[in-house]
Amino acid sequence: MSRSTKGFVALATLVVAIAWLSPSPSVDIAAADANSVLKGPTIGPDVEAVEISLAFRPQPDAKRVGYFGFGESATEDMIAGWDIDVRPDGKGLPPGSGSVEDGEVIYEEQCAACHGFFGEGEGRWPKLAGGEGTLTEDRPEKTVGSYWPYASTLWDYVHRAMPFYEPQSLGDDEVYAVSAYVLYLNDIVADDFVLSHENLASIQMPNRDGFFVDPRPDVKNTACMQDCKDPASIKITWDSTELGVTPIDHFRAEDTEAAATAAQETDPNLGLTVYQQACSTCHKGGLAGAPVVGEAGAWSERLEQGMDVLVDHAINGYQGSAGYMPPKGGQIQLSNQEVRAAVDYMVKNSLEK
């Protein structure tokens, strides 16, 4: 920061300090009319000056390239290792290819647990396929096929962030193959298709023309002050308390255990719901030594201690020889009953299969 800028900040700060120290407008609440507007500090040139000085930002000046000279040059090698982004025109794609056929094998191994075997999505994990023609419907399904405008985004995202548990673990050809398979699940390519750096940019996604640049501000309200509408016309259309879907135990001291029991009694899916949002991350694939749902042996072994012990470990946490179970799977906001329901669900779906 230059000397003159420093001086400016100091001066501006002083001016504001003086402004704050000057006799403040009346804030005698008791004496004031309750409905009148109390005068307080208002924005003015002083605050403005501070803001300008704080938001110190010189205009770029071509003559000052390398002015500071900090850091080291990014070599081509360094850039190649990190520059992984791909654009719709194919810029950024590495050489390679993968077939729908190969993609199916990788997909079922790496992706299906969350996204479903047909891209239908398990629980609240993203649905990848289907949904064509639903964007104007009451419950639109935004999938790769129905919504994504460019195939490059699919390749880029799988490559940078998937599989969820092990991002950037797939080779380039594997990413081509999985991308080809997801396109196939969406009926965008045929079952003998081979996706490559040469043909990816030419794939026409169904919703490629479905986007337009933000036109906001798009609504115009007015600051009407008096008789803005007919009081008799006001009706309450929604009341959040009628739903009862929000965690509110921390401020409305309800009998949480009773409520959870009641919820389980009236909601046979409670166990599944809790499992999907709190347990499946580990218990679906066996992360951290977690017994996998569906593997009867892993569960019957543990059940020998009794269901209550199992539930107790799920609620309070447990360090076993196979791995660590965090209390309530790390989601301490769950009630004990909700955890019990999830354990019930997992045991039932493991032993009965």
Partner 1 sequence: MWIGFLLERALSLPRSEESDMSKLRRSGAAGLLDMVADKASQLPQPERRDFLKRGLALAGTAAAGPAIAAGESGAEYLPPNVPPWTRSLGRGVVTRPYGSPSDFEANVIRRTVPWLTASNISSISFTPLPELKGIITPNGLVFERYHAGVPEISPDQHRLMIHGLVERPIVLTMDDLMRFPSASVIRFIECPANGGMEWRGAQMEALQFTHGMLSCCEWTGVPLSVLLEEVGLKKGAAWVLAEGADGAAMTRSIPLEKALDDTLVVYAQNGEMLRPEQGYPLRLLNPGWEGNTSVKWLRRLEVGDEPWYQREETSKYTDLMEDGRARKFTFVQETNSVITFPCPEKPLVAKGRYEVEGLAWSGRGRIRRVDVSFDGGVNWQQARLKGLVLPKALTRFSFMWDWDGGPVLLQSRAVDETGYVQPTLTQLRDQRGVESIYHKNAIHTWRVAESGEVTNVQID
Asked if residue 31 binds partner 1 (CB under 8 A), the reply is: no
**Least distance between partner 1 and beta carbon 60 (Å):** 4
d(CA 156, CA 175): 9
Q: Which of residues 100-129 bind partner 1 (CB under 8 A)?
A: 114, 123-125
Asked if residue 309 binds partner 1 (CB under 8 A), the reply is: no
∠ Cα 276 281 287 (to 5°): 145
Which residue's CB is nearer to partner 1, number 108 or number 255? 255
Q: Applying CB under 8 A, which of residues 3, 204, 219, 353 lies at the interface with partner 1?
A: 219
Asked if residue 353 binds partner 1 (CB under 8 A), the reply is: no
User: Burial, 314: exposed, middle or buried (Cβ in 10 Å; 0-12, 13-18, 19+)?
Assistant: buried
Q: Applying CB under 8 A, which of residues 10, 19, 32, 309 lies at the interface with partner 1?
A: 32
Q: What is the DSSP letter of 327?
A: G
Asked if residue 21 binds partner 1 (CB under 8 A), the reply is: no
d(CA 153, CA 145): 12
Contact indicator for 62, 162 with CB cutoff of 8 Å: no
Asked if residue 277 binds partner 1 (CB under 8 A), the reply is: yes
Q: Which tokens sit at 57?
A: 């930002």
Which residue's CB is nearer to partner 1, number 101 or number 317? 317
Asked if residue 6 binds partner 1 (CB under 8 A), the reply is: no
- Rounded to the nearest 10 degrees, how much is the dihedral formed by the CA atoms of 191, 194, 198, 204? 10
Q: Of 63-71, 94-102, 182-190, 290-298, which part binds partner 1 (CB under 8 A)? A: 63-71
d(CA 122, CA 15): 60
**Least distance between partner 1 and beta carbon 101 (Å):** 25
Q: Which tokens sit at 315?
A: 């609620």
DSSP H or E segment with residue 7: helix 3-21
Q: Applying CB under 8 A, which of residues 4, 55, 304, 321 lies at the interface with partner 1?
A: 55
Asked if residue 23 binds partner 1 (CB under 8 A), the reply is: no
Q: Of 53-61, 98-106, 185-193, 341-349, which part binds partner 1 (CB under 8 A)? A: 53-61
Could you count the other beta carbons within 10 Å of the beta carbon of residue 9? 16
